[in-house]
Structure 1
């Protein structure tokens, strides 16, 4: 799907329900139904923005050629995190592939990056060099004891870092491959998805698979590759 003029809200890219449905290969009714069934999981300002009244009139005015908005009384604009929840609800290969494309080509907004001119770059480089020199002199005065404490703190911080978006997608794809090794039935697959994600949370002591620590990613991948369901129908 080639998206028309990008839509921004509060400094981030968003999509209308119709655009999201088209991207995921479904229709707006299914997107709305998923939202209504899981309304407690969606937070306004994080997963979506709801436009009505004057905000909606201004939005329609900025997109006068969009006939789909003519009779809309409330409009939902979906953020990247909202799109992720919808992809999770649909749980189809097309939805996940479309979501990944949206993250790479639409939601990642690079429009506001303004390159520095030659003079600005030189000033920035000079400031950076001065700061680096000052910091280098300070570091020379740090005792071995302090250095060890810093290293210990950095190690503790590293141990608490969780999976980034790309690592989460890698884990998701591993789960999907493993589940579909056992069944092609959608109902049975849904049951197995719940089972394997529940066991991942239990195995790694997290509330969500997204909270798996980065240093445990390889262990999680091996666990998924060797996972066996309790019962395959």
Structure 2
């Protein structure tokens, strides 16, 4: 795949069409993601990251095409997950670095907003590199946190506790746990609340007492599905890396 990043108006940019092709997405879905971010933006700097420039024919239809600079790509690509997505993020990082090395941008002359997003991009790049280093060292999440069929809950909880402590203490635990559940539902295409309700109904039909049914947690629901366990533990690992609670003992 060529020309991930090009020069336009003296800055390194890529396009919504190129992003769609690289990440294996429909162009209309990439456009929708960009428009969603722009529609909710309160900071005018975001509108400098994405800008329309032309129309292109996609699947026989005339579509807008957005150009985006490095910061726009970073802001958009943070929502793309998975191993293949990580590989392309790194390719883009390298392409932007090579292109920008040619024009030698003095970041001190950037606006405070762009300097902030450049810092965000640099942080993302370091995170991606760290993730790939870990992936090369181990084959799966069970090796990383010693998770198995009996210990995955305990080991995951220990990591989430470390994340919460790093984010301000016990009060952050619930917020982080809910964020992990939300990401699990997105990746697993499942509604944990619905499964929880359905399982409580089945338990009631089986004569299980109400107090026991009320104690049924989302983790109990996850425990019934090995695929959900795999996704959940992978997300916990990613959060541990993201919040910097990783160390060599893992």
Shorter-chain TM-score: which interval? Answer: 0.3 to 0.5
Looking at CA atoms only, which structure, 1 or 2, has the larger radius of gyration? Answer: 1
TM-score, normalised relative to structure 2: 0.41
